[in-house]
Amino acid sequence: MHDQLPKIFCFINNYEKNYIKRLPKNTAIIYRNYNKNLNKVEIIKIKTLCKKDNRKFFLANNIKIAIQLNLDGVYIPSFNKELKINYFTKKKKFKILGSAHNILEIRQKENQRVNCIFLSPVFITKKSNKFLGIYKFNNLANYTSKKIICLGGIKKNNLKKIKLLNTYGLSSVSLFKQNIKYISF
């Protein structure tokens, strides 16, 4: 039970103790920052805070460091097509998360042996006017037996629409900036 996959994830790009502490208790953290070099000291600070708050902590796109620092897992973005992942050095409870936007990327993540797939963007985002919407999201989710996490454009005003999705859980950046106290899933 303790190694069960979380249902709610928040992406962060730096160590902000007050922000992390303010997140709903049932929220796992994914550290993702492709604009700066990985800072192990910062990662260890986040890990320590997550452990203290009993949160799962995942590192984006660096399985070697995630294993080395004994994190809960790694998040493999859709642009990472690498299949030569060393699965034998990971601990038993180590989870591999992956993201996809279409059926080809879903198959790629299955080949990477991920535990779940973040399917995005479900709703409109600042980055793109292209989004899946409820019907296309559900259709794509049916192409895999992996657990699906919805991502992209999730805000307070469309949170109720999540119940219409064929999803195991949700992930967001902007939702948690709206100071959500609790999310039931």
Give DSSP secondary structure letters for 63-118.
HHHHHHTT-SEEEE-TT-------GGGS-TT-EEEEEESSHHHHHHHHHTT-SEEE
Residue 60, pLDDT above cutoff 90: yes
Segment (H or E) for 149? strand 147-151
CATH number of the domain that 152 lies in?
3.20.20.70
In a domain, 43, yes or no: yes
Question: What's the pLDDT score for residue 181?
Answer: 62
Q: How many structural domains is the chain composed of? A: 1
Please state whether beta strands 147-151 and 116-119 pair in parallel, antiparallel, or not at all (unpaired): parallel
Strand pairing of 95-100 and 116-119? Answer: parallel
Whether residue 112 lies inside any domain: the answer is yes
The pLDDT value given to residue 142: 96
Domain with 161, as residue range(s), is 8-177
The DSSP symbol for 151 reads E
Could you tell me if residue 1 is inside a domain? no
- Establish if 136 belongs to a structural domain: yes
Report yes or no on 14 lying in a domain: yes
Is pLDDT at 90 greater than 70 in this prediction? no
Distance of CA 157 to the CA centre of its chain: 21
| Per-residue confidence (pLDDT) for residue 1, from 0 to 100 | 40
How far apart CA 158 and CA 60 sit, in angstroms, is 26
pLDDT tens per residue across span 13-51: 999 999 999 898 889 999 998 888 889 999 999 999 999
Is there a contact between 119 and 132 (Cβ–Cβ < 8 Å)?
A: yes
Whether 124 maps to a domain, the answer reads yes
Q: 184 in a domain, yes or no? A: no
In a domain, 182, yes or no: no
